[in-house]
Amino acid sequence: MTLLDVRGLSAAYGDVQALHGIDLRVDKAEVVAVLGANGAGKSTLLKTIVGQVRATGGTVQLAGVDISSVSPDQAIRHGITLCPEGRRLFPEMTVAENIRVGAHTVKDGQTLERRMQVLRHMFPKLVDRARQLAGQLSGGEQQMVAIARALVSEPRLLLLDEPTLGLAPKMIHEVARLVKLINAEGTAVILVEQNAKLALKIADRGYVLENGLVSTAGTSAELLANDHVQKIYLGG
Ligand SMILES: Nc1ncnc2c1ncn2[C@@H]1O[C@H](COP(=O)(O)OP(=O)(O)OP(=O)(O)O)[C@@H](O)[C@H]1O
Ligand SMILES: [Mg+2]
pLDDT for the residue 24 = 98
Nearest alpha carbon to residue 60 among 97, 26, 99: 26
- Is residue 136, in this structure, part of any structural domain at all? no
Domain that holds residue 65: 2-89+156-233
The domain that holds 6 is classified in CATH as 3.40.50.300
In ligand 1, which atom is closest to the CA atom of 37?
25
CA-based nearest residue to 99, from 174, 177, 179, 153:
153
Residue 181 domain flag: yes
Q: Please give the Cα distance from 233 to 196 (Å, whole number).
A: 6
Does residue 186 form part of some domain? Answer: yes
**DSSP conformational letter for 49:** H
Identify which ligand lies nearest to the alpha carbon of 209.
1
Whether 207 maps to a domain, the answer reads yes
Q: What is the DSSP letter of 133?
A: B
Q: For residue 134, what pLDDT band results from cuts at 50, 70 and 90?
A: very high
For 232, phi and psi rounded to 5 degrees?
A: -85, -40
Q: In whole numbers, what is the pLDDT of the chain averaged over residues?
A: 94
User: Is residue 133 within 8 Å of residue 162, measured between CB atoms?
Assistant: no
DSSP state of 90: -
Q: Is 73 part of a structural domain of the chain?
A: yes
Using the predicted structure, report yes or no on whether residue 105 has a pLDDT greater than 90. Answer: no
**What are the pLDDT digits (tens) for 189-206?**
999 999 999 999 999 999
Other CB atoms within 10 A of residue 225 CB: 11
Percentage of the chain lying above the pLDDT 70 cut: 100
Residue 78: per-residue pLDDT: 95
Residue 95 lies in a domain: no
* Contact assessment for residue 54 and residue 86, using Cβ atoms and an 8 Å cutoff: no
pLDDT at 112 (0 to 100): 86
- Tell me if residue 236 falls in helix, strand or coil: coil
pLDDT interval class at 99 (50, 70, 90) = very high
Specify the pLDDT at position 107. 80
**Closest ligand 1 atom, residue 36 Cα:** 21
- Residue 188 identity: A
What pLDDT is stored for residue 206 in this prediction? Answer: 98
Bridge-partner residues for 233, per DSSP? none
Pocket test for ligand 1, best of 19, 35, 38 (most atoms within 8 A of CB): 38
Given a cut of 80, is residue 147 above it in pLDDT?
yes
pLDDT of residue 145: 96
Taking the C-alpha atoms of residue 61 and residue 65, their distance in angstroms, rounded to an integer, is: 5
- Cα 188 to Cα 113: distance, rounded to the nearest angstrom: 23
- Ligand 1 near 39 CB (within 6 A): yes
Burial 101-135 (b: 16+ CB within 10 A, else e): ebbeebeeeeeeeebbeebeebbeebeebeeebbe
**Number of domains present in the structure of the chain:** 1
Per-residue pLDDT, 109: 85
Residue 148 lies in a domain: no
Q: How far is the CA of 43 from the centre of ligand 1 (A)?
A: 7
Residue 54: is it exposed, middle or buried by C-beta count within 10 angstroms (0-12/13-18/19+)?
Answer: exposed
Pocket test for ligand 1, best of 10, 13, 160 (most atoms within 8 A of CB): 13
Note the ligand closest to the C-alpha atom of 207.
Answer: 1
CB 216, CB 223: distance < 8 Å: yes
User: Which phi and psi angles does 51 have, rounded to 5°?
Assistant: 85, 15
Taking only the tens place, the pLDDT of each residue in 67-92 is 998 999 999 999 999 999 989 999 99
- Residues near 112 by Cβ (< 8 Å), separated by ≥ 6? 103, 106, 152
First to last CA, the chain: 35
Atom of ligand 1 at shortest range from CA of 41: 18
Residue 131 is assigned to a structural domain of this protein: no
pLDDT in tens, 159-193: 999 999 999 999 999 999 999 999 999 999 999 99
**Does pLDDT of 236 surpass 80?**
no
Percentage of residues of the chain with pLDDT beyond 90? 86
- pLDDT for the residue 108: 84
Q: What is the pTM of this model?
A: 0.96
